Structure 1
């Protein structure tokens, strides 16, 4: 690389959560022929029960779990030369128990950092979230890089504790940095994103109040760019950056853009008629909070409880420090996402 602040890609790249939404996007970029293709070895950590059918050829799969420290040592077997690790493994919506948040997002992250330090990893990029910082106080507010922690419920606390585990490892000598994407979208999406498209197509996506709540979003290719730049730019360990599309969008704009993208791809889209008062989000948040205190996680109440909130970030530090420059717009990214669903035979 010509920029004196950048470093060459490593001999080996390890991705935890390689079969997840973001993990699949990363290893696909590394094994492809585009800008982020890598000639070095790419190894992915995949849980024993997870499918690898969507992973590209050329990814060495190691079965293991971030909650099992002993299984992480196998990630480094036979590795020579520089090794970088990108930690994407995490739980957003737990399937079984609230305990999954802490076990995976906090303790699991600590396990990964300890393994990385034990095996002399050159650079770690930890993928965090907006949730350790809560929500914006007003529509014109933007989270900056010096934002204090103010976690939003169980997921936010676990991701905050994960960040603190990274910072503790940095204090112990590990070269680790963090990226903080908000809601991201794009190919390899899980079922919940498909449901979002279907609700918009049927005119049934809930818009609360006037729909003017602001949201930062991140197309997955923009996020891959941000992660790679965080990995390969020589910066101070312990730094974290917001990685998002160029500007936040309103919820109303997001729904309208998705509707337009669906129409452009040949779908019939009904006018959105599902309007709820802002109070619906407040009530859902109270139910969600009470349920989580009782050890239960109800996805629908959690999602609705966030719908009257503002979650917007300022990416200027990532632009300045990393040369991050998001290229894909919301309209283009959503059309690509929809075409990916069509190619996969997913019914929208």
Structure 2
């Protein structure tokens, strides 16, 4: 038993060290950048879309990817890159965010969004807004120009007006195919999952040339939602999280389950623990760890997480969601520049680009 507690103490010390000393894997990525985006995950099959619809979705994803990639390639910040990418998708009716937001049970629209800076862990979020054209812009204003992390409803819209954020009539978000989905849901007494076949939430994660990361997510929620329902998208730690020491994550899926698992933070926390364990293996065991914990010893060894290990962690968390009965997906970037996807659905609208030359969009699970 004593051996167990000794090992536990060492592990805890190593974890604290990972918190105290930024992992220098970032140093290796400073000259490069990485970006991943998503536009929803769910029952997305080739035989459910025409070639024209397939091409249109890919073009929309590519436009968003290109907008974010340009910011990063020009030396811009991760925050600016994810904002640029998400703005494109909020203005694209094919995605369930901004202009393409689904209808609530009462045939209105309630939009949510969040953003997080991995360098400072500052964050901003909005929930249940009805007149804000681009909720991601308002979420960023909450982060930078208010003392709060989350604002909701009328209060959020009052703040938006004070900050000069563009407001639009609620009818701006109306689309015929979303209204038909609500009508079909009511007529056949279906669940939101039966009419939504996919979760169209949008998001982006990025690593910039300075080694900083950011994450953002925006959504219209679930068709037919009632009583002011809020999903994971605006919840920091559930649908969005960024920490330069570990990763940046944006999620899409059945929000109730992502909230219960704390998906975005869980992935980052597991990556931080992986780094701590790696540092312990490279350190001079107990004497070194004790010295480091008191900040009077040598710095922690440099530890980089392989792409496969990061993928395994993301997959494990998504398997946890599935075990509870939820589905969806995540995008992840790491300090090493890995741009990853993980989803437990048939498909996910997604894309990634890096300074190493990767530039791709995909829809189906077998791509």
TM, length-normalised to structure 1: 0.30
Which has the bigger relative contact order, CA under 8 A and spacing at least 6? 2
Identify, as 1 or 2, the structure richer in strand: 2
TM, length-normalised to structure 2: 0.29
